[in-house]
Amino acid sequence: MSIVFNEKSQTFHLFNSKISYIMGVLPNGHMGQLYFGKRIHQKEDYTYLLEMVPRSMGSYVFEGKRTLSLEHVKQEYGVYGSSDYRFPAVEILQENGSRISDFCYKSHTVTDGKPKLPGLPATYTEKDEEAQTLILTLEDKVTGIELQLLYTLFAGDGVIARSARFINRGGSAVHLLKAMSLCMDLPDCEYDWVQFSGAWARERHMKVRRLEKGIQSVGSTRGHSSHEHNPFVILKRPRTDDLQGEAIGFGLVYSGNFLAQAEVDTHDTTRVILGIHPESFDWKLEPGEEFQTPEAVMVYTDRGMNDMSQVFHRLYQKRLARGYWRDRVRPILINNWEATYMDFNEEKLLRIAETAKECGIELFVLDDGWFGARRDDTAGLGDWKANTELLPDGITGIAQKIEDMGMKFGLWFEPEMVNKNSDLYREHPDWILAVPGRSHSQGRYQHVLDFSRKEVVDYIYESMAEILGNAKVSYVKWDMNRSITECYSGALPADRQGEVFHRYILGVYDLYERLTSAFPEVLFESCASGGARFDPGLLYYAPQGWTSDDTDAVERLKIQYGTSYCYPISSIGAHVSASPNHQVMRDTPLSTRANVACFGTFGYELDLNRLSAEEQEEVKRQVEFMKRYRELLQFGTFYRLKSPFEGDGNITAWMVVSEDRKKAIVGWYKILNGVNMPYMRLKLRGLDPDREYAVREEGEAQGKDCGSFYGDELMNAGMVTTDTSAGDAMPGMHQGRDFDSRIFVLG
């Protein structure tokens, strides 16, 4: 890993064994983008990559010379209006009304390791030798604004983390209207754009389309990263798939409004932009003030999207997530939400917990409905005090009773919200986000607390810390159940209202930081009506997230498959729920529900007392299986094998392989059964070709011996998964059915 600056050619080459990233100072002092891709040789000069040919209708920077047009060169951090007409990375409104800026290279530093981004989540290093950081300092002479572009190159993997920092060293205030985390121009447009989109309970479905001329983008203006789109996109070559080919993944370590965009210009170059959504963003920068953008992470691979995902998984699991739980297998939990909703009392909860304990479950999570006047979703949010009619000895009491059973206790909060029917709102009606004199929209009968105000965050911190400090709470589920409307803070002046969305998220991060520091051994799970804030920003504080409110095993195949493109299995909250399923009313086998959920942070979300004795026995076996294999499932190398988004999507398959390649687990899922179906073989990945693996089928098959095969056989000839639905039922053959699944353990 190295960052080399060539003084003569004014070029920077960032490289490790996998990638090269090359930039050069343009003749006008701006930064030009020369190359990002597979590692190439280190040379003194790459300026031949700057193609400055005169073109008709171009606008040119230098008087009398038709060479440098910013529209026609590939840039690092594009500006609009001084010969570039593409969407810019930066827009600054100045005292005289101008929005033109001219950031020119001034100096740079290279340091080992990676600096922290104040107040923001970001990837990090534990040892200096893990990464090097280049900080380019640029200056806009007219305003005196300094722009620092930060690039961290990680050793070993094809990753670069980028962000931008603005420092007002001038004499007047300015307004940042666009301040993107990443902007880069790629030399061609032969890419597919891949986004992960959906809706509540249908998150992160993979959508692929060819890049076209003009702008294509996804984003959120809802105040959270959203169910609708994830702050993660991929540009892949049209022939690239999970197993081979070039791809670049772009992720934003942020939980609020975002924009991810690709613009193909008339000469077939592609500008990628990622950062805070400019809609509603207006950050006032007084002289002496600084603004730091969130971090963007880019991963390049020429070995397919599994390889790209594995790089994201390693980075996010080990150098974005933090704390006590980062490297620990996650407790198997039972959550009472789909078991009782808000219709519970302590006795009912303890009955569920007792059966859970008998099944080997380790953590009981009490979900929504335990506090204040909350008996349905119209009341109580904001009053974080136990309802003693339901829980006579409060949270301390029930937590102790669960501990006495030999389980851990977890608790649900929705810290950012308030119902009008609450003591908190009655006392502080001015603490919500609302525009004075206008009506304020509600969502799920609730309003959003103004987390841009320190006293609000302080108050919520105190209420939560009081419970976490007094009761034996080992886990917190942090929910967020509505988007933000009428985003206005009563505490900020008119010319700072464009800061509220971002200040709100900074308030959320501040509360997370304080709680996770004060209670370092508490496991935090993020949640926002399921997966509305399943983003890298929250992974920094909460190493796992509730992936979706849809707990149906079949629906979960697409959701978890899509999620896996960026996020590690150890972050994917997945539960076995009741059948028929509460979201889609589908009946699926108990085994399939567990076979899907075990590729995640496994748990149950149903009343186990309503299961038959045989089903409870099956649950015990599932829990034992998970305990035996969770290290491998949650921390192994994950490979997608067969996509539910391709073809008829009837078969999905994925697998994990241990670091030493001695063990692997394969999950195979079939939605609808068929008659006289084709023969089926599944080509496995990541195995040691020369190792002989004993293959056992677990789950319902309970350890059936499937024979021994070399890794090269399993990866090239494939594992036979044809079942009896292919023809007549044959003794010893797997009996197929609708919503079928199989788990194979290789070792």
CB atoms within 10 A of CB 469: 10
CB-nearer residue toward ligand DGJ: 139 or 525: 525
Site pattern 399..438 for ligand DGJ (x: CB under 6 A): -------------x--------------------------
Looking at residue 540, the DSSP 8-state letter turns out to be T
Minimal distance, residue 341 CB to ligand DGJ, in Å: 8
Contact between 503 and 517 (Cβ < 8 Å)? no
Site pattern 435..474 for ligand DGJ (x: CB under 6 A): ----------------------------------------
CB-nearer residue toward ligand DGJ: 367 or 416: 367
Cis peptide before 536 (omega within 30 of 0): no
Minimal distance, residue 377 CB to ligand DGJ, in Å: 7
Contacts of residue 298, Cβ cutoff 8 Å, sequence gap at least 6:
36, 159, 160, 161, 162, 182, 184, 248, 249, 250
Burial class (CB in 10 A: 0-12, 13-18, 19+), 341: middle
Residue facing ligand DGJ at closest CB distance: 368
CB-nearer residue toward ligand DGJ: 242 or 549: 549
Number of shown-chain residues binding ligand DGJ (CB under 6 A): 11
CB-nearer residue toward ligand DGJ: 146 or 479: 479
Interface positions, 526-555, toward ligand DGJ (CB under 6 A): 527, 529-530, 546, 549
Per the structure block, which two tokens stand in for 678?
């084709």
Site pattern 253..292 for ligand DGJ (x: CB under 6 A): ----------------------------------------
CB-nearer residue toward ligand DGJ: 409 or 709: 409
The answer to whether 479 is a known catalytic residue is yes
Minimal distance, residue 529 CB to ligand DGJ, in Å: 5
Minimal distance, residue 423 CB to ligand DGJ, in Å: 19
Per the structure block, which two tokens stand in for 724?
């009896």
Q: Of 88-96, 228-236, 525-533, 647-655, which segment contacts ligand DGJ by CB under 6 A?
A: 525-533
CA distance 185 to 71: 11
Tell me, rounded to whole angstroms, the distance of Cα 81 from its chain centroid: 34
Sign for the pseudo-dihedral over CA of 394, 396, 399, 401: negative
Per the structure block, which two tokens stand in for 500?
């509220």
The single residue listed with the structure tokens 């909350």 is 374
Per the structure block, which two tokens stand in for 710?
């070399």
3-state secondary structure of 412: strand
Interface positions, 347-406, toward ligand DGJ (CB under 6 A): 367-368
Asked if 203 interacts with ligand DGJ (CB under 6 A), we say no
CB-nearer residue toward ligand DGJ: 124 or 337: 337
CA distance 544 to 560: 13
Minimal distance, residue 368 CB to ligand DGJ, in Å: 3
CA distance 598 to 329: 12
DSSP string, 1-20: -EEEEETTTTEEEEE-SSEE
Looking at residue 629, the DSSP 8-state letter turns out to be H
Q: Which amino acid is at 514?
A: R
Three-state SS annotation for 60-108: CCCCCCCCCCHHHCCECCCECCCCCCCCCCEEEECCCCCCCCCCEEEEE
Interface positions, 304-343, toward ligand DGJ (CB under 6 A): 337
CB-nearer residue toward ligand DGJ: 264 or 572: 572
Minimal distance, residue 481 CB to ligand DGJ, in Å: 5
The answer to whether 648 is a known catalytic residue is no
Site pattern 480..509 for ligand DGJ (x: CB under 6 A): -x----------------------------
N-term to C-term CA, the chain: 35
Burial string for 148-185 (b: 16+ CB within 10 Å, else e) reads: bbbbbbbbebbbbbbbbbbbbebeeebbbbbbbbbbbb
- In whole angstroms, how far apart are CA 456 and each of 58, 412, 419, 463, 492? 53, 19, 15, 11, 14
CB-nearer residue toward ligand DGJ: 131 or 473: 473
| Phi (first) and psi of residue 181, to 5 degrees | -80, -30
CB-nearer residue toward ligand DGJ: 529 or 725: 529
Minimal distance, residue 266 CB to ligand DGJ, in Å: 45
CA distance 509 to 633: 29
CB-nearer residue toward ligand DGJ: 385 or 737: 385
The single residue listed with the structure tokens 């090239």 is 716
Minimal distance, residue 221 CB to ligand DGJ, in Å: 22
Could you tell me which of 478, 529, 552, 564 has the C-alpha nearest to residue 227?
Answer: 529
Q: Of 33-41, 103-111, 188-196, 522-530, which segment contacts ligand DGJ by CB under 6 A?
A: 522-530
Per the structure block, which two tokens stand in for 565?
């493109």
Q: Of 133-141, 524-532, 651-659, 738-746, which segment contacts ligand DGJ by CB under 6 A?
A: 524-532
Minimal distance, residue 157 CB to ligand DGJ, in Å: 33
Catalytic-labelled residue, pool 383, 479, 550, 607:
479
Minimal distance, residue 736 CB to ligand DGJ, in Å: 33
| Helix segments in 380-453, DSSP class H | 394-405, 423-427
Catalytic-labelled residue, pool 302, 367, 383, 549:
549
Strands annotated E in 376-529: 408-413, 417-419, 446-448, 475-478, 523-526
Minimal distance, residue 647 CB to ligand DGJ, in Å: 31
CB-nearer residue toward ligand DGJ: 422 or 643: 422
Asked if 479 interacts with ligand DGJ (CB under 6 A), we say yes
Could you tell me which of 529, 637, 636 has the C-alpha nearest to residue 583?
Answer: 529
Catalytic annotation, residues: 479, 549
The residue ranges that bind ligand DGJ (CB under 6 A) are 337, 367-368, 412, 479, 481, 527, 529-530, 546, 549
